[in-house]
Structure 1
Amino acid sequence: MSKRSIKNILQWICASFAALSCLTLAAETYQKQPGLAGSITVVGSDTMANLMTIWSVEFRQLYPQVKFQIQASGSSTAPPALTEGISDIGPMSRELHTSEIRYFSGKHGYQPLSLKVGIDAIALFVDVNNPISKLSIQQVDSIFSATRFCGYHEETQYWRQLGVAGSNANRKIQIFGRNSVSGTYGLFKRLALCDGDFKATVNELPGSTSVIQSVAFSNGAIGYAGFGHKTAAVKALAIADYSGEFIPATSQTISSGKYPLSRFLYLVVNKPPNASLPLLEQEFLRFVLSKAGQKAVEQEGYVGMPDNMLNTQLKALISD
């Protein structure tokens, strides 16, 4: 992928988020419905595992007769599980691929409904004692990628190549990331590697929590994971796109669209056109898009959806 292509992608993300900084979250208050019971099966994103658990626990406080089965096996497992009727809701930390939509449509005759339910970012983490504080997209690519499509002049293997001095200068960089079924993996590959190939030396882990722990307790490590998984044992690096401005990973820069690796979080469901979802699924999704549901998004370190976008998602959910 060319520099122009990656710049266009980053501009598209910024455009998607451009209005967020001037809007405040004004979601509706969820109104409990009488007699709701049943079970909901969830298969999909590991990045959203904690968030799904919080939503399910809070929803069950309103409806004790509701049960959840949650399988956090990666975003790529959500579309086939939904298509085959194995799950009711598919959490995804990326957009559906065209091939996934085509597969679903081929079986059901219509496209799945994909709801935006929060805003996240992929962050680059190092341990808190590492002196480095910022990287460009090109440098990130040179650390993680075997192809260096983003244009950096050399492969980066040692911390001295990034300006780190002292005892860590000659230490080889240990690199950690997600496995290939993860939406985080796919989006990072696209945005930070310019669609290049990962090095064989990347330690691929099944969850974002595992990445954070590995970075925190490994000498000279760096890893990418969802921003919402940050702990006190690691720090997130500022990232610069091709404009050259280094942008820290914060709730403010993510919601404004300035941070280069921002993304939406999705819940995907099988909703036929001109028909309603089963009441239990619809009420759970209404809860997710309510004040209580969006409060959970922010408590988990993500950014809540702005009022106008929440209204759009609700209209898509209840339309029949």
Structure 2
Amino acid sequence: MKLKTFAAVLATNAALITSAGAFDLDPALPTYKSVSGISGQLKSIGSDTLNNEMTLWAEGFKAKYPNVKIEIEGKGSSTAPPALVEGTSQFGPMSRPMKAKEIEAFEKKYGYKPSSFQVAIDALAVYVNKDNPLKCLTLQQVDGIFSKSRKGGLNKDITTWGDVGLTGEWAAKPISLYGRNSASGTYGYFKEVALFEGDYKDQVKEQPGSSAVVQGVASDKFAIGYSGIGYKTADVRAVPLAVKAGDKCYDTSAENAYSGNYPIARFLYIYVNRNPNQPLDPLRAEFIKYALSKQGQTDTIKGGYYPITNSLRLENLKALGISAN
């Protein structure tokens, strides 16, 4: 989601924005209460970024309903739409909104569009090694580092750490690039927002998962990479970012993500096949209610992401035709 749109959606949630720096949950989020008669099987296919979150939600949900079996597969957001079309999954986690062609393929099969709901907020981080002293990057510099197109307008390719102002032993060191593969929603979102729809450099070492990107940067002193904030470790640093030269740099804190000041914050989604003329089955409906509840959003924090607000929870449930009671 573009920065202005993202900030506009969250503009009504001022209470959480001011308190979220300490990972406070919206106090209005309700405690999930179990209901009777819930059993069956669920399968989730999609985002690697949301893989840990889906696992936490599944574990919490299964603790409430021991007769439920949940299988989770996280190989990238682009695997979610075809799985929903083919009916091989009930949930399609995605770290980006579906593309028009993905929605079209679904609608061609079912006669209606897929439904989605927001489950968490991510500050998509640009990671460097923990020993890297870099204090800030502009989006134009990020573009110059990762993209061969440089559609952000930078007039010079960035290839060494000296090109972004580092001195001493860093100045002449080539920047080693790590990123996700094209199946990843993070790959697509980063390309759209940080690379201004440009093309990645051929030198980017594409990794199959978010943790692999972080591990690559952690083990390579002169590396840089991008991944969800939920995958941050003690061996890497998330670089503060500015929209353009002269602007203030903002870190990946919850406050900056909610306010939209951090320029590559985004929603994380789950897509479902919901016939608008029929209610969701109780199994899927209860899982959704759990994920958006106080317990579910506590799991969101545990997984390293930022929780949604109760007002967003209510909007999501209403759009899915699920009672908030």
Fold shared, TM-score > 0.5 on shorter chain: yes
Alignment-derived partner of residue 256 in structure 1: 259
Which of the residues 209, 214, 218 maps onto 1:216?
A: 218
Shift in Å at residue 235 of structure 1? 0.7
Structure 1 runs, 4 residues or longer, greater than 4 Å off: none
2:8 maps to amino acid: A
Give the SS at the match of 1:58. helix
Structure 1 segment 162-311 matched on structure 2, within 5 A: 162-242=164-244, 244-311=247-314
Structure 1 segment 81-96 matched on structure 2, within 5 A: 81-96=83-98
Please say which of residues 51-60 and 273-282 is displaced more in the overlay: 273-282
Alignment-derived partner of residue 130 in structure 2: 128
Alignment-derived partner of residue 3 in structure 1: none
Structure 1 segment 23-62 matched on structure 2, within 5 A: 23=16, 25=26, 26-62=28-64
Shift in Å at residue 319 of structure 1? 4.8
Alignment-derived partner of residue 113 in structure 2: 111
2:12 maps to amino acid: A
Distance 1:12 1:318, change over 3 A: closer
Structure 1: give runs of 5+ residues left out of the alignment: 1-7
- Tell whether the 8 Å contact from 2:3 to 2:260 is kept in structure 1 after alignment: no
Structure 2: give runs of 5+ residues left out of the alignment: 17-24
- Between the aligned partners of 2:306 and 2:64, the Cα distance in structure 1 is 24
- Between the aligned partners of 2:248 and 2:198, the Cα distance in structure 1 is 23
Pairing 1:78–2:85 present: no
Shift in Å at residue 253 of structure 1? 0.6
- Between the aligned partners of 2:12 and 2:129, the Cα distance in structure 1 is 33
Give the SS at the match of 1:247. coil
- Between the aligned partners of 2:158 and 2:138, the Cα distance in structure 1 is 12
- Tell whether the 8 Å contact from 1:135 to 1:238 is kept in structure 2 after alignment: yes
Distance 1:221 1:268, change over 3 A: same
For normalisation by structure 1, the TM-score amounts to 0.95
Shift in Å at residue 193 of structure 1? 0.3
Shift in Å at residue 196 of structure 1? 0.2
- Between the aligned partners of 2:103 and 2:321, the Cα distance in structure 1 is 21
2:280 maps to amino acid: L
- Tell whether the 8 Å contact from 1:212 to 1:234 is kept in structure 2 after alignment: yes
- Between the aligned partners of 2:92 and 2:109, the Cα distance in structure 1 is 17
- Between the aligned partners of 1:10 and 1:287, the Cα distance in structure 2 is 28
Shift in Å at residue 12 of structure 1? 2.5
Alignment-derived partner of residue 19 in structure 2: none
- Between the aligned partners of 2:321 and 2:2, the Cα distance in structure 1 is 31
Distance 1:289 1:65, change over 3 A: same
Please say which of residues 135-144 and 17-26 is displaced more in the overlay: 17-26
Distance 1:257 1:54, change over 3 A: same
- Tell whether the 8 Å contact from 1:89 to 1:269 is kept in structure 2 after alignment: yes
Give the SS at the match of 1:117. strand
Give the SS at the match of 1:222. strand
Give the SS at the match of 1:60. helix
Give the SS at the match of 1:303. coil
Instruction: Show CA shifts across 1:174-212 (max 9, x none).
Output: 010111011100000000000000000000101110011
- Tell whether the 8 Å contact from 1:122 to 1:225 is kept in structure 2 after alignment: yes
For normalisation by structure 2, the TM-score amounts to 0.93
Indicate the RMSD between aligned Cα atoms, in angstroms.
1.5
- Tell whether the 8 Å contact from 1:179 to 1:204 is kept in structure 2 after alignment: yes
Alignment-derived partner of residue 12 in structure 2: 19
- Between the aligned partners of 2:290 and 2:3, the Cα distance in structure 1 is 31
Shift in Å at residue 29 of structure 1? 1.5
- Between the aligned partners of 2:179 and 2:78, the Cα distance in structure 1 is 16
Between Structure 1 and Structure 2, how many residues are aligned? 313
Give the SS at the match of 2:151. coil
Instruction: Show CA shifts across 1:74-110 (max 9, x none).
Output: 0011011001101100000111111111110111000
1:65 maps to amino acid: N
Give the SS at the match of 1:293. helix
Shift in Å at residue 166 of structure 1? 1.3
Shift in Å at residue 167 of structure 1? 1.2
